[in-house]
Amino acid sequence: MRLRNIPRAESVLANTPDVMQDPTLYKGSWQKEIFQNDHPVAIEVGMGKGQFLLTLASQRPDINYVGIEQYSSVLLRAVERLDAQRKDRAVVFPNLRLTRLNARTLPDVFAPGEVEKIYINFPDPWPKARYAKRRLTSKDYLTRYDQVLIPGGEIEVKTDQKDLFDFSKEQVMATSSFTVTAATSDLHHDPVLSAGNIQTEYEEKFSAQHQPIYKLVIRKM
């Protein structure tokens, strides 16, 4: 997701306590310093405007969530949504923090084993082979996820792109540290995997166009 540059985005984000300005400062101490509890930490990479993560965080106060997005203008939309939900629904979101970050640097932000689960929803498909490394499920990214995940930790991927779904499965199977534990090429008609499904912005858009949604659950061995 890329939005027109919003000039005030940087200054708003810099003055929002929910947004971690330098997340590398908390490597190894997210639970203790930031959330001040011992609940598991889950992250969403490429959270977009935050619809999925805000819903999830409000449903699961027993999990700490960190939302990661690379673009300020997009993260600003998530911050605005957070503010609106605090006002309209009186949800407090003590278990949620956001940060502007390129997922390439995840190992600078989380210590080994600090993350229990990673969500990747509708990542940019980068269809051209020469950009395959940029796909968020490429082996380069899987290596980074491996560095921060707890053994037995999971990655959940949703996409509308069959090619990206197939590519992701192949990349997982080519590693020795991850295995695919569940997969569907029609999430919304899969009685098991659709249970409790929270739709993302992109998911609503694609399913309204009757496109099937693919989902992959990957476990770190």
Q: Is 69 in the site for ligand SAH (CB under 6 A)?
A: yes
Q: Which of 124, 140, 156, 190 binds ligand SAH (CB under 6 A)?
A: 124
Q: Which of residues 29-58 bind ligand SAH (CB under 6 A)?
A: 45-48
Q: Rank residues 10 and 201 by Cβ distance to ligand SAH and give the closer one.
A: 201
Q: Is 68 in the site for ligand SAH (CB under 6 A)?
A: yes
Q: Where are the alpha helices (DSSP H) in the chain?
A: 9-14, 51-59, 72-89, 106-109, 139-148, 162-173, 201-208
Strand-pairing partners, residue 157, are 120, 216
Q: Which residue has the tokens 């980068």?
A: 126
Shortest distance in whole angstroms from residue 2 CB to ligand SAH: 6
Q: Which residues contact 194 (CB under 8 A, 6 or more apart)?
A: 187, 188
Q: What is the DSSP string of 62-80?
A: TSEEEEEES-HHHHHHHHH
Q: Rank residues 50 and 153 by Cβ distance to ligand SAH and give the closer one.
A: 50
Which tokens in the block code for residue 99?
Answer: 């940060």
Q: Which of 102, 179, 181, 211 binds ligand SAH (CB under 6 A)?
A: 102
CA distance 167 to 179: 14
Of the candidate spans 29-37, 56-64, 170-178, 200-208, the one that interacts with ligand SAH by CB under 6 A turns out to be: 200-208
Q: Which of 18, 124, 140, 190 is catalytic?
A: 124
Q: Is 200 in the site for ligand SAH (CB under 6 A)?
A: yes
Is 124 in the active site? yes
